[in-house]
Chains A and B, each alone.
Chain A
Amino acid sequence: MTGKRILSTLAHRLAILAYVAFALFPLYWLLKVSVTPNNLLYSEGIRMWPSQTSFEHFEFVLRHSEFPTFFKNSLIVSGSTAVIVTVLASLAGYAMSRFNFRGKYWIVTLMLLTQMFPLVMLVAPIFKMLSPLGLTNSLTGLVIVYTAFNVPFATFLMQSFFDGIPKDLEEAAMIDGATQFVAFRQIILPLTLPGIAATLGFVFTAAWSELLFSLMLISGNDAATFPVGLLSFVSKFSVDFGQMMAAGVMALIPACLFFLLIQRYLVQGLTAGAVKG
């Protein structure tokens, strides 16, 4: 019996180890190539760790390429999207959580539908709509589009956080003479702060990874976000693997930071709208 138990524990740990290795190996390889100096890149192609490491690729990417601009653009777009979406979704999510009103069913249906249909359908019409307004090739245009795409699931997410706060709190405040909006702002919102942080994180991550619309809407380097810059870099200088991977590591950093922030809320986020990604 004990022998069997040890054996099954061992199998369990080995299986876990295999999963960890599979999950981390691609990222490990990204990191490894990004610190391999150029003269060793081909001669030590499939060694697990280069005999020498250097940060020359990172230095080049930071000093002589446009990646800092791309990084800044992506940060502006994802950050603004996250803030605007969270504000809109808090309001809408509060309405969904606290009111029973006639249009609610239709609003929920509309928001669910937006999660189901292929967004790639909208690539052409959105381009045609934004172009006469001067919003193609502009960060503002991207923020508007991303905000609309992320509001539905963020609303469901915020609603689930509001549902977790007892209604007595604002009722008590309203008996004391506060309007509902004041009660919402001064009592409910502060209690939802962790939920707000999680929503910010989810939306930031989603906006940071968006690819198709940024490819379609952005053409110049000035307004290029990270994915656009990285892909055009790949098609132009497809031999500079070290630099590409150094840029890749840079793109990974904010994603990992936000992942740590929202890790506790993953389940809630995924059930709220089967989040993109």
Chain B
Amino acid sequence: MDSRAARSSGSSRDQRPLRQRLADASAPYLYSAPALILIVTVMLVPLVLGISYAFRDIQLLNPFSGGFIGIDHFKTLSQDENFYRALRNTLWWTGWSVLLQFAFGLILALLLDKPFHGRAIVQALVFLPWAVPSFLAGLNWSWLFNPVVGPLPHWFFAIGLMSEPANILSDPQLSMWGPIIANVWWGIPFFAITLLAALQAIPRDLYEAASIDGAGPVQRFISITLPFLAPTIAITVLLRTVWISNFADLIIVMTNGGPADRSQIVASYIFTQAFKRLDFGYASAIALVLLVLLITYSMLIVVLRQWLVSKD
């Protein structure tokens, strides 16, 4: 019961003066108004503007641009090799980043779930990458991959992975892996933190009961831990997928989409078009395509969820 109702049920509710009732009804809106106004003007209005830009010729450096050009941008886009590569790269980037972050995050959560001496300190240390600003994480890893100051190329060379200590960020075949590795380093704590919280919510006596019944560790993991974690896993993986597919910082810092647009994902391609080429119209057209793809993905999740619910 909400506090207004609780209060008015004490007195005779409808005899309060109109002004009082109006004030009560508008209170929650007054509390949330400043936040809402800001969200609408700085996020919703630009979103709508951006959608309109997709159908206009808007180039920052060209004062004569600005006219309505229909679907011309989308025609260009359908022939844009770099865009298709960026689409494939987005799948590659998102898939590997989420998979590795999740796998290593789950293992870390399981390791930290066991009590041991100094757990609090270890936890703070392994979660630290989460706090490192993304631009710094990107720079830091690009330095590690740089043969001049970084050790990684020399190690790869020493164990025979490379024929000479070279920078994988400037290799068209491998450049995508630089940002992916940085992203895994940076994102493991996110999964570890959320999964650890879910693990610690599992009632301990379930495990005791199971081991009295003779279940081994693997059996306990499959029949107790996994079912309990499943909802958390589903939600974090799905949300994280959307978030990572939009996450361009590391790529922009580490490779700038290069060499020759080989490591461009759609989000970084949008930024490159807007920031480097100052072509706001084309950037917005790509952004609109990305938005439609993400909405489709989210709808798929909703449908999948309902299908799973109705199956039970």
Contacts and interface: CB of A to CB of B under 8 A. Distances in A.
Interface string A210-221: 011001100000
Contacts of A89: 35
B50 A234 contact: no
A42 B53 CA distance: 49
A107 to B, nearest CB: 6
Nearest to A235: B256
A263 B124 contact: yes
Interface string A183-213: 0000000000000000000000100110110
B224 interface: no
B74 interface: no
Given A19-B126, A125-B49, A129-B45, A12 B135 contact: no
Contacts of A91: 31-32, 34-35
A248 to B, nearest CB: 6
Contacts of A111: 39
Contacts of B42: 126, 144-145, 147-149
A256 B131 contact: yes
B38 A107 contact: no
B108 interface: yes
Central interface residue in B36, B49, B150, B246, by most chain A CB within 10 Å? B36
Interface stretch (B91-99, B170-178, B208-216, B235-243): B235-243
Given A121-B270, A125-B47, A99 B143 contact: no
A79 interface: no
Contact of B3 (A98, A107, A129): A98
A92 B249 contact: no
Contact of A116 (B108, B144, B294): B294
Contacts of B43: 114, 122, 148-149
Contacts of A30: 140, 143
B14 interface: no
A258 to B, nearest CB: 7
A110 to B, nearest CB: 7
A29 B150 contact: yes
A88 to B, nearest CB: 4
Given A15-B111, A121-B270, A26 B287 contact: no
Interface in A251-271: 251-252, 255-256, 258-260, 263, 266-267, 270-271
B102 interface: no
A88 B34 contact: yes
Interface string B266-293: 0100110011000010011001101100
A33 B137 CA distance: 15
Interface string A39-56: 001100110000000000
A122 B132 contact: no
A91 B27 CA distance: 11
A57 to B, nearest CB: 12
A20 B283 CA distance: 41
A105 interface: no
A94 interface: yes
Contact of A16 (B46, B122, B196, B298): B122
B72 to A, nearest CB: 17
B185 A23 contact: yes
Interface in B153-196: 154, 185, 188-190, 193-194, 196
20 contacts: A16-B122, A19-B111, A24-B125, A26-B129, A26-B141, A29-B144, A45-B149, A95-B27, A107-B36, A124-B280, A125-B280, A129-B46, A152-B39, A180-B3, A209-B135, A227-B136, A231-B135, A231-B139, A248-B136, A255-B133
